Amino acid sequence: MKKLDALVVGAGFAGLYMLHKLRQDGFTAQVVEAGSGVGGTWFWNRYPGARCDIPSVQYSYSFDSELEQEWTWKERYSAQPEILEYLDHVADRYALRDGILFETRVTAAQWNEESRRWTVATDTGTTFDVQHLILATGALSDPKLPDLPGLENFTGPILHTAKWDASVDLTGKRVCHFGIGSSGIQTVAAIANQVGELTVFSRTPSFAVPCSNPLLSAEDSAAAKAGYPAMREIMRHSALSFATLPKSGSAKECDPAEREQRLEGAWTESTFSLLMEFDDLLFDDESNALATDFARRRLARTIADPEKARKLIPQGYPLGSRRLCTEIGFYDAMNGEHVALVDVREEPVVQITADSVDTAQGSYPADAIIFATGFDACVGAIKAINITGRGGQQIANEWADGPRAYLGLAVAGFPNMFTITGPGSPSVLSNVVVSIEQHVEWIARCLSDMRAQGQSVIEADPCAEQAWMQHAHEVAHMTVFPRANSWYQGRTADGREVFMPYVGGVGAYRAKCDAVRDAGYEGFLLG
Ligand code: FAD
Ligand code: N01
């Protein structure tokens, strides 16, 4: 059994930086990664059209100015291959690969009361005896397949966007595609002209704004590199961790003609400009309703076929309460004559046969099926590990009624276990790389402080955890977010919703974490 100070699960943005930081700070550490390479999200999500929706100069590490200066992004929003290339470069640059065990899945972790250490098991039989268990398992890393009757009878390839098999050639094929969230919108746009026939099965349509994605010129890159220090500082302390801040002013108090003009400008500016055009859009129902109405009218102008428009224009939830999507050619693709749209709420799937998807109203021939049906978000990858904490309590049981965690960093009853971008932290409601860096640095500092003070165990105090979850719940309900059925929500056994990410803002959250540390890890029990 290998003995280490820390075991890190996952080699995405979070796991790579965590390993580097632990090594820098003199800890023995190892990463275990299920995939055969580094990159996490950007290793697995190889579907056509996959790209980020936060400018790459912002969606990248800030911890080393030399890395910032030597890496030149090619486009404003990079596609998956370029982001993966960047993360491969990071792994090589900081010589991280020899600390990563690939193609190995952590299956179980058991807290040992006597040794006050974790025993960690993997699917290859390798085991570890570690003081700290750090879960860098990703909030969007556990893909979900819908439970469709007869799926096992389908004879063609079945693809999930997050487990894409690039060897499948879709050229000229009849493809049935499920889901039009961020992944589905990108996939449909990218394959529409390649396939023979495309039938898109949607359930909840998304708001998607056009993505303007110019190549970055030498001047653009030079300006970005010169501006990194100031830009990163704004991002670390702003609410959404973007380089631009929401514009002040209320939508409902704005003159209607001016409001329309501003929203129109924001529509094409950048992914999240629409939500930041007024600073009350995510908090004030009336202001949000005005922007939601604008977005619906804007989409009606974009989608030519009125029947497709009826099915594609979101109804029944506020703009921004589900992840705002970005599109390059999605609505154009949907306008195509060889592209059909089925709303499964009106026309449920009754069965899948060897070569078709059948609904109550018709049969849609299929040579291949694509699922862009998302993830068991925020908790799936953690619950999939059989984690047994103090007194035999298991994380899957403890979180059956929705996740609980102190600051999204630690869970009461699970000593010396940290989650990076865990539930209760801003995570998926932020530029995730900013949130990852903040968590990695906080955890590394915590471990160093413990070492300096001769402490071997840290655990979230259940009272502090409860208070944080209550605070997170209250803040979420001051916004429009909980008013949509979305993957941001966990669900308790009795059907209550638990909003999982922390909505209170990245800057405020960082300040809280720093204050907790400066007060001697307030809300944690140390021993
Ligand atoms: P991940 O990248 O998910 O890595 C987790 C790793 O842990 C995975 O490789 C997984 O294999 C491994 N793992 C999990 N469980 C185990 C186990 N039991 N044993 C071994 N290994 C395990 N965020 C943004 O801020 N901006 C964007 O533009 C953006 N675009 C996105 C696009 C897509 C298609 C998706 C799916 C997500 C996007 N995200 C975006 C969110 C994205 O997940 C994060 O930005 C970030 O990449 C997460 O990094 P991570 O290291 O925390 O987790
Ligand atoms: O997953 P999703 P995703 N029949 O859950 C539908 C990030 N990301 O992979 O909501 C038909 O958003 C489901 O409907 P419903 C980003 O954070 C970013 O697209 O369950 N449809 C939903 O509409 C994003 O939010 C980028 O009613 C079915 C869709 O499938 C997150 O990852 C790119 C269905 C799934 O959408 C997840 O995005 C990609 C069924 N049986 C991902 N079952 C960027 O651009 C489910 N659906 C940065």
* Best CA proximity match to 38, nearest among 127, 107, 101: 101
Whether residue 401 has pLDDT greater than 90 = no
DSSP 282: T
The protein residue with its alpha carbon nearest to ligand 1, atom 28, reads 52
Give the ligand at the shortest distance from the Cα of 185.
2
Q: Which two tokens stand for residue 154?
A: 């389908």
Best mutation site among 159, 182, 349 for ligand 2 pocket (most ligand atoms within 8 Å of CB): 182
Whose tokens are 């259940």? That residue is 462
Q: If pLDDT is split at 50, 70 and 90, which confidence band does 408 have?
A: very high
At 332, is the secondary structure helix, strand, or coil?
Answer: helix
* Element containing residue 3 per DSSP (H, E): strand 2-9
The DSSP bridge pattern shows strands 386-388 and 197-202 to be unpaired
Residue with tokens 């010169």: 226
Q: Which ligand is nearest to the Cα of residue 148, counting in written order? A: 2
- Mean pLDDT along residues 193-201: 97
State the amino acid at position 373 in one-letter form.
T
pLDDT bin (cut points 50, 70, 90) of residue 495 is: confident
Distance 139 CA to ligand 1 centre (A): 6
Nearest-10 Cα torsion for 366, 372, 376, 377:
180
Residue 105 carries which side chain, given as an amino acid letter?
R
Instruction: For residue range 152-171, list pLDDT tens digits in order.
Output: 999 999 999 999 999 999 99
Nearest ligand to residue 11 Cα? 1
Instruction: Using alpha carbons, select from 203, 20, 28, 33 the residue that is nearest to residue 96.
Output: 20
| pLDDT digit string, tens, across residues 108-158 | 999 999 999 999 999 999 999 999 999 999 999 999 999 999 999 999 999
What length is written for the chain?
Answer: 527
Closest residue by Cα to residue 471 from 495, 505, 429, 496? 505
Ligand with minimal distance to 375 CA = 2
What confidence tens digit (pLDDT) does each residue in 322-341 have?
Answer: 999 999 999 999 999 999 99
Query: Among candidates 163, 22, 46, which has minimal Cα distance to 94?
Result: 22
Cβ(381)–Cβ(138) below 8 Å:
yes
Report pLDDT digits (tens) over 31-56.
999 999 999 999 999 999 999 999 99
pLDDT at 92: 98
Contact partners, residue 494, CB within 8 Å, separation at least 6: none
CA-nearest residue for atom 45, ligand 1, is 432
Give the pLDDT confidence score for residue 514 in this predicted structure.
98
CA of 429 to the centre of ligand 1 (A): 14
Residue 41 Cβ inside 6 Å of ligand 1? The answer reads yes
State how far Cα 456 lies from the chain centre.
Answer: 32
**Model confidence at 345: pLDDT above 90:** yes
Provide the pLDDT for residue 286. Answer: 98
The residues facing 201 across adjacent strands are 178, 342
> Residue 134, SS3?
strand
Least confident of 329-333, 382-386, 496-500: 496-500
Instruction: Sort strands 524-526 and 458-460 into parallel, antiparallel or unpaired.
Output: antiparallel
Pocket test for ligand 1, best of 137, 160, 417 (most atoms within 8 A of CB): 137
Residue 310: the pLDDT is: 97
pLDDT in tens, 454-492: 999 999 999 999 999 999 999 999 999 999 999 999 877
Cα torsion through 456, 10, 327, 56, rounded to 10: 70
pLDDT of residue 270: 83
CATH of domain 2-142+376-526: 3.50.50.60
pLDDT of residue 450: 98
Report the C-alpha gap between 411 and 111 in whole angstroms. Answer: 13
Pocket of ligand 2 (CB under 6 A): 52-53, 140, 146, 161, 178-184, 186, 201-204, 323, 326, 344, 372-375, 428, 487
Q: What is the pLDDT of residue 170?
A: 98
Question: Which ligand 1 atom minimizes the distance to the CA of 41?
Answer: 2
The preferred substitution site among 82, 200, 204, 485 for testing ligand 2, maximizing ligand atoms within 8 Å of CB, is: 204
How much of the chain, in percent, has pLDDT values that exceed 90? Answer: 96
pLDDT at 340: 97
**398 residue type, one letter:** E
CA dihedral sign, ordered 265, 267, 271, 274: positive
- State whether residue 368 is helix, strand or coil: strand
C-beta neighbour count of 494 within 10 angstroms: 6
Domain residue extents for the chain: 2-142+376-526
pLDDT of residue 525: 97
412 and 459 Cβ atoms separated by less than 8 Å:
yes
Residue 162 Cα: closest atom of ligand 2: 9
Distance CA 345, CA 506 (A): 36
Overall pTM > 0.85: yes
Say whether 130 sits in a helix, a strand or coil: strand
| Lowest mean pLDDT across 34-43, 175-184, 214-223, 239-248 | 239-248
Count of beta carbons in the 10 Å neighbourhood of residue 125: 7
Q: What pLDDT does 298 receive? A: 97
User: Mean pLDDT over all residues of the chain?
Assistant: 97
Query: How far is Cα 206 from Cα 315, in angstroms, rounded to an integer?
Result: 9
